[in-house]
Structure 1
Amino acid sequence: MISHFQKAIEHKEFLITAEITPPKGGNPERMLEVAQLLKNRVHAVNITDGSRAVLRMSSIASCYLLLQRGIEPICQVTGRDRNSIGIQGDLMGAYSLGIRNILALTGDPIKAGDHPQAKAVFELESVRLLKLIEKLNDGFDINNKALTDGNLDLFAGGAVDPQSKSLSGLQRRFEAKINAGAKFFQSQLITDFDKLDKFMNQIALGFDRPILAGIFLLKSAKNALFINKNVPGVEIPEHIIKRLEKAEKPLEEGMKIAAEQINLARDICQGVHLMAVKKEELIPQILDLANKG
């Protein structure tokens, strides 16, 4: 079964995905309310897997809850917390539940999160994880033993950072993920669209893989400064910080900035991935603003 997201890629549509953080606890009500607002507004809802190494509900369980409500998920899977046995078992389970789209990630370092005493695994980083998914799709486990109860058919993607300081390192990593089976790419938070354009024309050109530019809702100048300080590889430009400082309503200004960035991305790449931490319910309004722009 081909996912709605995969069909949109095949039809060369401008892709829109949005990120939702699972609940911290057993009540998924808020996550589902927000996901319902995004239904029919985005191609898929991306569910994080212990983002920033902070404890949250299982991404697979969260994705299944979305599927039950007719909302297509992209399930993030990281190599940080599980060994190859656990990851293979989870991928089989996800497939059996109807989950098809997987974003394969290495995972944030344990020390960045709320369980710094926890033991990191990292047996598989993102490239090896993509290779493993390819094996499972072909009907074999990581040891090349046949899957006796059927192969998987997962649609896997990877992350990319077009703002990386090392262009050669960026190209090497990007091509390694393509060779490992990545069918789409979701970028880190983009603030420099000239660098995104350079990446698209000098590295991604010719590979026929959709790149979704990461668009982040900045809630205030303070929020932007916090990101600059705490998120490696991200630098919110001074002119955006000043624009937020001067705004009478910083959150509304942040929404306008995100809408403008969506329209910048339309001319450069094949989609956007929207991140509005704790304000996901504003994503439909941001999309409306972008459509008016």
Structure 2
Amino acid sequence: MRSALQRSLEAGAVTVTAEIMPPRGANPGHAIAMANTLKNRVHAINVTDGSRAVMRMSSLALCSLLLREGHEPVLQMACRDRNRIALQADLLGANALGIKNVLCLTGDPVRAGDQPLARPVHDYESVKLLKQIKELNNSKDPLGTLLPDGGTNLFAGAAADPNCKSLKSLRNRLERKREAGAQFLQTQMVMDAVVLEKFCKEIATPLQLPVLAGVFLLKSAKNAQFINKVVPGACIPQTIISRLGNSKDPIAEGIQIAAEQTKQFLNISQGVHLMAIKAEQKIPAILDQANINLQQK
């Protein structure tokens, strides 16, 4: 059985995903409530995995809970914190739970987080993780034999940064991810349609990889300036920062900017991936202003 996300992307249809963060604690109530605001509004909901090297509930656990609530999750899996045996076990477990979509990530460096004494593992990185999923889908045991209890049926995606200064380096990296088994790309935040168009035209389309372009909700000029300062590869233009700074209601302006980008990007890429850190409840407003209603399709 293919996931709804896989069916939509393979059909060439407009595809929308959104992102939520697991709780920083044991109670998943708020995260589930945020997901419920997106029910029937997106094809799938990504759950971050130790983003920015900060402790939160495991992505696998929250994905399982979302599945029970009737949502289609995308399991983000970072290689930073687990060795290959743990990653392999989680992939088998995810498939058994009914989680079909996996976004393969290397993981933010530990120094980006709030526990500098933590030890990174990095037994795998994203390309090796993609290869591992491909092998498990083909029922291959890591020891080279067939899995005695059957293989997986996982739909694997990879991350990409269209803002990368070296297109040659980016192309080579994504060629390796495609060869390793990536079936779609989810990008980092994009603020310039020209950058996205160049990325899709020169890299993603020749590789036959559908793109979910990252749309990020900015809450204020200060928020945008902070992101430019601390997030690698972020390049929010001054024109957007000025719009936010001159607005009497920066949140509303940020929603409007995200809606404009969503409409614009859907003319370039097959889909969008909406990110609104600690403000997931604003994502439906972005979809409304962008006139996206999956229930009508």
Give the Cα separation in 2 of the matches to 1:111 and 1:146.
39
Equivalent AA in structure 1 for residue 211 of structure 2? I
Partner of 2:215: 215
Partner of 1:196: 196
Shift in Å, 1:245: 0.5
Give the Cα separation in 2 of the matches to 1:287 and 1:269.
16
Using the aligned pairs only, state the percent identity: 54
Partner of 2:255: 255
TM-score, normalized by length of structure 2? 0.97
C-alpha contact (below 8 Å) 1:35/1:66 kept by paired residues: yes
Give the Cα separation in 2 of the matches to 1:18 and 1:161.
17
Task: After TM superposition, list the pairs within 5 Å mapping 1:82-231 onto structure 2.
Answer: 82-231=82-231
Q: Is 1:239 matched with 2:239?
A: yes
Could you list the structure 1 runs, at least 4 aligned residues long, displaced by more than 3 angstroms after superposition: none
Partner of 1:266: 266
**What SS is found at the alignment partner of 1:38?**
coil
C-alpha contact (below 8 Å) 1:59/1:75 kept by paired residues: yes
Shift in Å, 1:129: 0.5
C-alpha contact (below 8 Å) 1:15/1:212 kept by paired residues: yes
Partner of 2:46: 46
Equivalent AA in structure 1 for residue 134 of structure 2? E
Give the Cα separation in 1 of the matches to 2:113 and 2:145.
36
Listed one character per residue, the Cα deviations across residues 193-249 of structure 1 (whole Å, up to 9, x for unaligned) are 211111111112233221011000000000000000000111110010011010000
Give the Cα separation in 2 of the matches to 1:141 and 1:123.
17
Listed one character per residue, the Cα deviations across residues 56-99 of structure 1 (whole Å, up to 9, x for unaligned) are 10101100000001100000001100000000001111111000
C-alpha contact (below 8 Å) 1:100/1:153 kept by paired residues: yes
Partner of 2:295: none
**What SS is found at the alignment partner of 2:19?**
strand
Compute the RMSD of aligned alpha carbons. 0.9
Listed one character per residue, the Cα deviations across residues 1-50 of structure 1 (whole Å, up to 9, x for unaligned) are 11111111122111110000000111000001110110100000000000
Equivalent AA in structure 2 for residue 256 of structure 1? Q
Equivalent AA in structure 1 for residue 60 of structure 2? I
Partner of 2:18: 18
- For structure 2, list consecutive stretches of 5 or more residues without a partner in the other structure: 293-297
Equivalent AA in structure 2 for residue 61 of structure 1? A
Equivalent AA in structure 1 for residue 239 of structure 2? H
Listed one character per residue, the Cα deviations across residues 163-218 of structure 1 (whole Å, up to 9, x for unaligned) are 11001001001111100000110001101221111111111223322101100000
Equivalent AA in structure 1 for residue 195 of structure 2? K
Give the Cα separation in 2 of the matches to 1:239 and 1:209.
31
Give the Cα separation in 2 of the matches to 1:168 and 1:142.
32
Give the Cα separation in 2 of the matches to 1:220 and 1:252.
10
C-alpha contact (below 8 Å) 1:163/1:192 kept by paired residues: no
Give the Cα separation in 1 of the matches to 2:87 and 2:203.
30
C-alpha contact (below 8 Å) 1:132/1:141 kept by paired residues: no
